[in-house]
Amino acid sequence: MFDQSSINLEILKERAFNLRWATVPEGVIPLTAADPDFPSAPEIAEAIVKFTKDRYLSYGPAAGLAGFKESVARFFNEKRQIPANPEYLFPVDSAAFGIHLICKTFLKAGDEALIFDPVDFLFRYSVENVGATAVPFSIPPGPAPVDFERLESMINSKTKMICLCNPLNPTGKVFTREELTSIGELAIRYDLIILSDEIWSDIIFEPHVFTSIASINEEIRQRTVTVTGYSKSYGLAGLRIGTVMASNPGHYSLLFEASLHTSTIHGANVLSQVAVIAALNDCGYWLDGFVAHLQAMKDLVVGELNSIKGFSCIAPEGCYVALANITKTGKTSQEMQELLFNDAKVSVVPGLKQWFGQGAEGYIRLSFATSEDILRQALGRIKHTVDAI
């Protein structure tokens, strides 16, 4: 399912946008946006086709299809050990919107929210978009310990939220149960909301283990709002579908009201919910195969990057992106991105503040959710170009 023969480059060049195949010049290999090159599981397409054959594409319930809510609740109960109630979760039109919705619901102008550095730009954007201040907390790549004393020192009377990204994009860090407990205890001590983004939680590399912060205990769970999506695990980015889940019924009511779903201004696509039901109920075999392939690609990418002059890459514990330190090449992140794009014909994401925060300068990010053939070709081009500097 995950070799070169399963990839249709002609379709990707027509449909894969967001810095990927449809947006780069012919001959450039994009290792940019974290979106698989592989087609989704057949059961997902079959479920959508079956639903549309009846030719009724009516409004769905504002709070989500019953089958969607039940499948997602079962996932959280069985896979994440969270006693999820279907009544306290609802679909949103992407995990990205879910992050924004949580910030919109629980932050106001003048508030502060702690975000990690580096981390995906959506956290800073969502916090600042509602008039609050995003306060970055540095978390280095790899197994280095988190400085919880420093984290606590950054909390003040304006702090209302901790934004947790687990696993952490772009470094691939998977937080341990002990680290999550420390974060939860800080949230309890200072009466903070925990925004837990878990869109990457299926992509975990052995021997690491994923823990949902809401599974630790009831007190932490009652102040946690979890957001997740299905683009990373099942290749559904274009369907724009995610989930927001609360355990506190008061939090759920505030979130659902702020979502504007009942007004039909916002809402989750019915076909997208059908796709998620199929993914969670029938496509575990596909996800298992995908993660096994990614484990091998992670080892390949990290080994090859570390063989390139001036490059250094700590193996990610989760996520299918590798963050390479390029400071010893003497080039900035932007300069390296431009060199690789123009000379190696490989597109990567530079570690700029606008993408990941100040802590990503001196790094580039590469997605490895593609075939071994494409990765070897891209990495060979990078090595040839950089070693020639």
Q: What is the band of 141 on the pLDDT scale with cuts at 50, 70, 90?
A: confident
One-letter identity of residue 345:
K
Question: For the structural domain made of 4-41+284-387, what CATH number should be given?
Answer: 3.90.1150.10
- In the structure encoding, which two tokens stand for residue 319, read together? 């996520």
Tell me the mean pLDDT in the region 8-18. 98
User: CB-hemisphere CA count at 13 Å for 254?
Assistant: 15
Q: Which residues contact 259 (CB under 8 A, 6 or more apart)?
A: 90, 92, 101, 244, 266
Distance CA 158, CA 367 (A): 37
pLDDT for the residue 140? 83
Residue 144, pLDDT above cutoff 90: no
Write out pLDDT tens, residues 330-362. Answer: 999 999 999 999 999 999 999 999 999 999 999
Taking alpha carbons only, the member of 128, 96, 134 closest to residue 114 is 134
- Of the candidates 269, 334, 357, the residue with the CA atom closest to the CA atom of residue 91: 269
**Backbone CA torsion sign across 302, 324, 237, 243:** positive
In this predicted structure, the answer to whether residue 45 has a pLDDT above a threshold of 90 is yes
Q: Which tokens go with 262?
A: 């009942």
Q: What is the pLDDT of residue 215?
A: 98
Q: 331's torsion region: left (phi>0), alpha (psi -120 to 50) or beta?
A: beta
- C-alpha span between 226 and 95 (Å, rounded): 10
Nearest to 80 by CA among 212, 208, 179: 212
- What is the rounded CA–CA span in Å between residue 16 and residue 39? 11
The Cα 261–Cα 186 span in angstroms is 33
- Answer yes or no: are the C-beta atoms of 241 and 269 closer than 8 Å: yes
What is the mean pLDDT of the segment spanning 261-273? 95
Q: CB–CB of 278/233 below 8 Å?
A: no
Averaged pLDDT, 198-224: 98
Element (H, E) at 161: strand 159-165
Which tokens belong to 264?
């039909």
Looking at residue 261, its pLDDT comes to 97
- Considering just the CA atoms, what is the radius of gyration of the chain in Å? 21
SS3 14: helix
Note every long-range contact of 296-304, with CB atoms under 8 Å and residues 24 or more positions apart, other chains counting.
296/372, 297/368, 297/369, 297/370, 297/372, 297/375, 298/205, 298/322, 298/368, 300/368, 300/372, 300/375, 300/376, 300/379, 301/366, 301/368, 301/375, 301/379, 304/376, 304/379, 304/383
Q: Domain ranges in the chain? A: 4-41+284-387, 49-282
pLDDT tens digits, 276-317? 999 999 999 999 999 999 999 999 999 999 999 999 999 999
CATH code assigned to 49-282: 3.40.640.10
Which residues touch 72 (CB under 8 Å, ≥6 apart)?
84, 86, 89, 91, 243, 245, 276, 280
- How much is the pLDDT for 210? 98
- SS3 annotation, 71-119: HHHHHHHHHHCCCCCHHHEEEECCHHHHHHHHHHHHCCCCCEEEEEECC
Contact 279, 232 (CB under 8 A): no
Nearest to 261, CA basis, from 66, 92, 89: 92
Instruction: Kindly give, in sequence order, each residue whose CB lies less than 8 Å from that of residue 193, ignoring residues fewer than 6 positions away.
Output: 102, 106, 160, 161, 162, 187, 223, 224, 225, 251
Entry pTM: 0.96
For the chain, give the percent of residues with pLDDT over 90: 98
Average pLDDT, the chain: 97
Paired residues of 168 in beta bridges: 173
